Amino acid sequence: MQLSKKILPYFKGAINSVPAEAIFKLPEKALQFGTGVLLRGLPDYFIDKANKQGLFNGRIVMVKSTDSGDTDAYDSQDGLYTQCVRGIYNNSVVEEYIINASISRVFSARSQWSEVLACAANPDLVIIISNTTEVGIALVENDNIQANPPESFPGKLLAFLYQRYKAFDGDKNRGLVIIPTELITDNGNKLQSIVTELAYLNKFENAFIEWLNNDNYFCNSLVDRIVPGKLPATEQKTAEEKLGYTDELMIMSEVYRLWAIESSDQKVKNVLSFAHADAGVVITPDINKHRELKLRLLNGTHTLSCGLAHLAGFETVKQAMENKSLEQYVCNLMMQEIAPCVINKDVTAAEVHEFANNVIERFRNPFLDHKWLNITLNYTQKIKMRNVPLLLKHYQQNLNVPGYMALGFAAYLLFMKCEQDEGGKYFGIANESDYTLQDNQAGYYNQLWKNNSPAEVVKKSLANDALWGTDLSSLPGFALAVEHYLNSIIHRGVSETIKDFEKDHHKAESHEA
Q: What tens digit of pLDDT does each residue of 407-441 get?
A: 999 999 999 999 999 999 999 999 999 999 999 99
| Cα-Cα-Cα-Cα dihedral sign, residues 394, 400, 405, 410 | positive
**φ, ψ (nearest 5 deg) of residue 88:** -120, 130
User: So what's the pLDDT on residue 70?
Assistant: 59
| Cα-Cα-Cα-Cα dihedral sign, residues 490, 493, 498, 501 | negative
State the pLDDT confidence band at 13, using cuts at 50, 70 and 90: confident
8 A C-beta contact, residue 219 and residue 177 = yes
Measured CA to CA, the distance from residue 6 to residue 130 in angstroms comes to: 30
Q: What Å distances lie between residue 330 and 88, 350, 373, 411, CA to CA?
A: 17, 20, 16, 13
Q: What Å distances lie between residue 428 and 28, 143, 409, CA to CA?
A: 52, 42, 17
Give 316's contacts (C-beta < 8 A, 6+ positions apart): 368, 369, 370, 371, 372
- Give the pLDDT confidence of 303-321 residue by residue, as tens digits: 999 999 999 999 999 999 9
Measured CA to CA, the distance from residue 375 to residue 371 in angstroms comes to: 7
456-476 mean pLDDT: 97
- Give the pLDDT confidence of 254-266 residue by residue, as tens digits: 999 999 999 999 9
User: So what's the pLDDT on residue 69?
Assistant: 55
Longest dimension (CA), the chain: 75
Q: Is the pLDDT score of 106 beyond 80? A: yes
389-398 mean pLDDT: 96
Q: Which of helix, strand or coil describes residue 451? A: helix
Q: Is the pLDDT score of 43 beyond 90? A: yes
Q: Is the pLDDT score of 510 beyond 80? A: no
Q: Which of helix, strand or coil describes residue 376? A: coil
Q: What Å distances lie between residue 481 and 402, 488, 503, CA to CA?
A: 9, 11, 15
Measured CA to CA, the distance from residue 84 to residue 175 in angstroms comes to: 35
Q: Is the pLDDT score of 513 beyond 70? A: no
Nearest-5° angle of CA 82, CA 85, CA 91?
165
| Cα-Cα-Cα-Cα dihedral sign, residues 229, 234, 239, 244 | positive
Q: With pLDDT > 70 as the criterion, what percentage of the chain qualifies?
A: 97
8 A C-beta contact, residue 31 and residue 125 = yes
Shortest CA distance to 250 belongs to which of 10, 37, 508? 37
DSSP strand pairing (281-284 vs 251-253) = unpaired
6-28 mean pLDDT: 92
Shortest CA distance to 175 belongs to which of 141, 212, 219, 142? 212
Q: Is the pLDDT score of 68 beyond 60? A: no
Q: What Å distances lie between residue 300 and 174, 220, 294, CA to CA?
A: 42, 22, 8
| Cα-Cα-Cα-Cα dihedral sign, residues 27, 29, 35, 36 | negative
43-58 mean pLDDT: 98
Average confidence score pLDDT of the chain: 95
359-380 mean pLDDT: 95
Q: Which domains does the chain have, with CATH numbers?
A: 5-284 (3.40.50.720), 288-512 (1.10.1040.10)
State the pLDDT confidence band at 508, using cuts at 50, 70 and 90: low
Which residues does residue 96 pair with via DSSP β-bridges, in sequence order? 85
User: So what's the pLDDT on residue 134?
Assistant: 72
CB atoms within 10 A of CB 325: 17
Give 503's contacts (C-beta < 8 A, 6+ positions apart): none
8 A C-beta contact, residue 368 and residue 310 = no
- Give the pLDDT confidence of 125-169 residue by residue, as tens digits: 999 999 997 788 999 999 999 999 999 999 999 999 999 999 999
8 A C-beta contact, residue 191 and residue 180 = yes
Q: Is the pLDDT score of 511 beyond 90? A: no
377-386 mean pLDDT: 96
Q: How many CA atoms lie within 13 A of 132 on its CB side?
A: 26
Q: Is the pLDDT score of 97 beyond 70? A: yes
- Give the pLDDT confidence of 264-304 residue by residue, as tens digits: 999 999 999 999 999 999 999 999 999 999 999 999 999 99
Give the global pTM: 0.91
Q: With pLDDT > 90 as the criterion, what percentage of the chain qualifies?
A: 91
8 A C-beta contact, residue 410 and residue 304 = no
8 A C-beta contact, residue 260 and residue 284 = yes
